[in-house]
Structure 1
Amino acid sequence: MSDVIFGLDTFGDVPVDDSGVPVSHARAIRQLVDEAVIADDLGVDVFTVGEHHRPEYSVSAPETVLAGMATRTSRIRLGSGVTVLSSDDPVRVFQRFSTVDALSSGRAEVILGRGSFTESFPLFGYDLSDYDVLFEEKIELFAQLLEEKPVTWSGTVRAPLVDADVYPRTEGGLKTWVGVGGSPQSVVRTAKYGFPLMLAIIGGQPERFAPFIDLYNSAAAEFGTTAWPVGMHSPGFIADTDDQAKEIFWPHYKVVRDRIGALRGWPPVRRQEFEAEIQQGSMYIGSPETVAKRIARAVSSLGVGRFDLIFTSGAQPISARLKAVELYGSEVVPMVRELLASHHRQGSTVA
């Protein structure tokens, strides 16, 4: 457990300034780059940026933002979380990320997904009725592109390729994950192609995802592929005290959660539900000590090899976001590592 990877994840939520006014998309993107620099300086392992095409988010082209981060960082890995492969072209995705890989001297990675929002489908001319076949065919093609050899491929969702060379090539391969929200079929598909699995655990007790990890491992054994250490990402926020973290996070989280709920027929979220999720579920909100203990418990109980904290959810103030990044890198991650190492030495899991 001492070699667990720790990352920060964001969807590029547009923050507010000190006067409570939302900043421009341009400033929000520059803010993300500043946060990645801080995370790099403090020893965080990975910084990932999600893709959205909605007004409350600033990032629609993660790899372009990651390229900017690559020029200002030196050691942190830089990835998408996620790239919506279904509404993109696998060849262009590979080319863009291999370019980021070159700029970062081999630090790029991509997390492929189908996307929890579907606004990219009509935006780029795809039919939602093809939701499943789009991802199935495109991930098949992407897996071939990762071999970095001439590709011959045909399907129903794009023009065929015949002995096609795709450039630029990487110097050491492109690390590729698949993000899964809880579909057994998606877990099996990930194992089929030999990709590492990233679980989006955004609600409920994390232990309920243990069967998906077991399924991934058993499916990989059946396919004869590699069962990589599984990753998880979950929302959270860190401040000096538990109460400060909750009060900063809650009002902005409620706006986001109720907006999503309105689209999906959910009732408005209540404060009691929020508090219960912090105590027993998959929200890691509080002081550095509180958050570190809960992350260590989740990592230990599931046996995952990577934990990413989604540190933005709505329009949190810039100053609070910066503080959360600093506390995660300087205090939370070292505490989690020590807790895991201590319990490993004792031969027990974190209680």
Structure 2
Amino acid sequence: MGTLSEDPDVVKFVYWENLTYAPPGSRRPEEWDPKLGARLYESYLDHCVEAEELGYAGLSVPEHFGPSSISPHPNIMLAALAVRTTRARIVSGVNLALLHHPLHLAEQFAMVDVLSGGRLEVGVGRRGDRAAFEHAVDLIEGGLNRIDHPVAKADLTPTSAGFLQDVETAKVTVWPRPVQERVPVWVAAESDGSLATAARRGWDVFTGLNLDPAAGGMSKVSVEEMVARLRRYQEIGAENGHELSMANVAASCFTVVADTDREAAEIVRKGFVSHIESASGYLARMAGAVPGDTPLEELAKDGSTGVQGVFDATAESYLRNPFALVGSVETVKAKLDALVTAGFRRFVLLCGGVGNAHEVGWQSATAMAHDVAPELFAAGKAGL
């Protein structure tokens, strides 16, 4: 099938599973059954095969560390997806570029593209210095999409740099070469500055998942404001020779469909709290804390962590967020219709939120295809 950005008038969905590992509410890593990991991996792969049949245009898994998700190196899972599926795009959602050597990431991405027959879409996110992140993405894209890419000696691995003496710039070729002539690159972007950077380079963008701890959790975000920013993104792209549209933009949405709005909202809220509890327990144990001794109160006092904001968020706050597809079938349908009317055409669905049981996410994924938007999924399936 074509890339996610092709066929701009067709609405496309990406199935994104968080693969929560810890039992809900558990703070003790010693209690977590390793066999659960194997079952989650297998179930996720089975679901992705079925998601492809439902009409999901893409399949994705995040890079998360600790019990909130057992995919600290998602490219391994992407390789498994490449051989288990046949048509859907394989989307890294997202790799944190500054935690890895960018050329190593480029090599991994190239392998996945070859394994999948040319279905990879690279997603990268920023954690740390903005300029360093942009430089890392430039290296990744250059390694994937140009045979010879000029790389400063300092950017090479120590082994590679050892072949150079007085040369300041090297020509690097990443092998294997990808199947695609150009592997799409998506970056997480929402601010004017991030969107402008992406536009100048012709990168696609993920936006949404608007979590503002300072505003008490999931904050009310103006769709109109975001659309205005995205129009400017397209304009800057055109000024730099790139033809960009809303098909180059994917709204990342927490997605929980339940019988009632209240039930769906409570699922998301409880999942976030469970995520914070289990993740803090994991990190505390890594730091040598006594089992069960999780300093949540201290973390909550540190405003930079966002812990207090998650605890303070009400269930209703998730219903108010226009980018959160949370609620009953009728509510989610209305939210999705509003986003489509505003111009959005690509949706990355984080099914079940974070911290919830795997089965909850899959129920929401199937509800989206069967009950919320069957016509849109049918149209997307026709293009697979």
Give the TM-score band, short-chain normalised.
0.7 to 0.9
Q: Hey, what does 1:223 align to over in structure 2?
A: 240
Q: Which moved more, 1:81-90 or 1:221-230?
A: 221-230
Question: Is the 1:10–1:311 contact (alpha carbons within 8 Å) kept by the matching residues of 2?
Answer: yes
Q: Hey, what does 1:252 align to over in structure 2?
A: 271
- 3-state SS of 1:30 partner: helix
1:43-192 paired onto structure 2 within 5 Å? 43-115=55-127, 131-154=129-152, 156-158=154-156, 162-172=170-180, 173-180=182-189, 182-192=190-200
Question: Is the 1:15–1:318 contact (alpha carbons within 8 Å) kept by the matching residues of 2?
Answer: no
Q: 1:189 to 1:164 in 2, by over 3 A?
A: same
Question: Is the 2:332–2:372 contact (alpha carbons within 8 Å) kept by the matching residues of 1?
Answer: yes
| RMSD of Structure 2 on Structure 1 (CA) | 2.9
Q: 1:171 to 1:214 in 2, by over 3 A?
A: same
Query: What is the rounded CA distance, in whole Å, between the counterparts of 2:171 and 2:209 in structure 1?
Result: 40
Query: What is the rounded CA distance, in whole Å, between the counterparts of 1:12 and 1:240 in structure 2?
Result: 23
User: TM (normalized to structure 1)?
Assistant: 0.80
Q: 1:234 to 1:155 in 2, by over 3 A?
A: farther
Query: What is the rounded CA distance, in whole Å, between the counterparts of 1:313 and 1:79 in structure 2?
Result: 18
Q: 1:183 to 1:248 in 2, by over 3 A?
A: closer
Task: Give how far 1:239 is off.
Answer: 2.7
Q: Which moved more, 1:226-235 or 1:23-32?
A: 23-32
Question: Is the 1:8–1:309 contact (alpha carbons within 8 Å) kept by the matching residues of 2?
Answer: yes
Question: Is the 1:101–1:108 contact (alpha carbons within 8 Å) kept by the matching residues of 2?
Answer: yes
1:274-285 paired onto structure 2 within 5 Å? 274-285=315-326
Q: For residue 238 of structure 2, what is the amino acid of its counterpart?
A: A
Check if 1:288 corresponds to 2:304. Answer: no
Question: Is the 1:8–1:310 contact (alpha carbons within 8 Å) kept by the matching residues of 2?
Answer: yes
User: TM (normalized to structure 2)?
Assistant: 0.74
Q: Hey, what does 2:253 align to over in structure 1?
A: 234
Task: Give how far 1:256 is off.
Answer: 3.5
Q: Given the alignment, which residue of 228, 231, 250 partners 1:211? A: 228
Q: Hey, what does 2:165 align to over in structure 1?
A: none
- 3-state SS of 2:122 partner: strand
- 3-state SS of 1:106 partner: coil
Question: Is the 1:6–1:333 contact (alpha carbons within 8 Å) kept by the matching residues of 2?
Answer: no
Q: For residue 239 of structure 1, what is the amino acid of its counterpart?
A: A
Q: For residue 204 of structure 1, what is the amino acid of its counterpart?
A: K
Q: Hey, what does 2:293 align to over in structure 1?
A: none
Q: Where do 4+ consecutive residues of structure 1 move more than 6 Å?
A: 257-261
Task: Give how far 1:185 is off.
Answer: 1.8
Q: Which moved more, 1:241-250 or 1:36-45?
A: 241-250
Task: Give how far 1:200 is off.
Answer: 3.0
Q: Hey, what does 1:121 align to over in structure 2?
A: none
Q: Hey, what does 1:346 align to over in structure 2?
A: none
Question: Is the 1:256–1:313 contact (alpha carbons within 8 Å) kept by the matching residues of 2?
Answer: no
Question: Is the 2:18–2:68 contact (alpha carbons within 8 Å) kept by the matching residues of 1?
Answer: no
Query: What is the rounded CA distance, in whole Å, between the counterparts of 1:293 and 1:68 in structure 2?
Result: 35
Query: What is the rounded CA distance, in whole Å, between the counterparts of 1:298 and 1:237 in structure 2?
Result: 16
1:287-326 paired onto structure 2 within 5 Å? 287-301=328-342, 303-326=343-366
Identity %: 24
Question: Is the 1:45–1:77 contact (alpha carbons within 8 Å) kept by the matching residues of 2?
Answer: yes
Q: Hey, what does 2:202 align to over in structure 1?
A: 194
Q: Which moved more, 1:281-290 or 1:23-32?
A: 23-32
Q: 1:255 to 1:193 in 2, by over 3 A?
A: same
Task: Give how far 1:167 is off.
Answer: 0.9
Question: Is the 1:22–1:315 contact (alpha carbons within 8 Å) kept by the matching residues of 2?
Answer: no
Q: Hey, what does 1:343 align to over in structure 2?
A: none
- 3-state SS of 2:319 partner: helix
Task: Give how far 1:280 is off.
Answer: 4.7
Q: Any unmatched runs of 5+ in structure 2?
A: 1-7, 25-30, 162-167, 211-218, 281-298, 380-384
Task: Give how far 1:15 is off.
Answer: 6.0
Check if 1:330 corresponds to 2:370. Answer: yes
Question: Is the 1:206–1:298 contact (alpha carbons within 8 Å) kept by the matching residues of 2?
Answer: no
Aligned length: 320
Greater Rg by CA: 2
Task: Give how far 1:214 is off.
Answer: 2.2
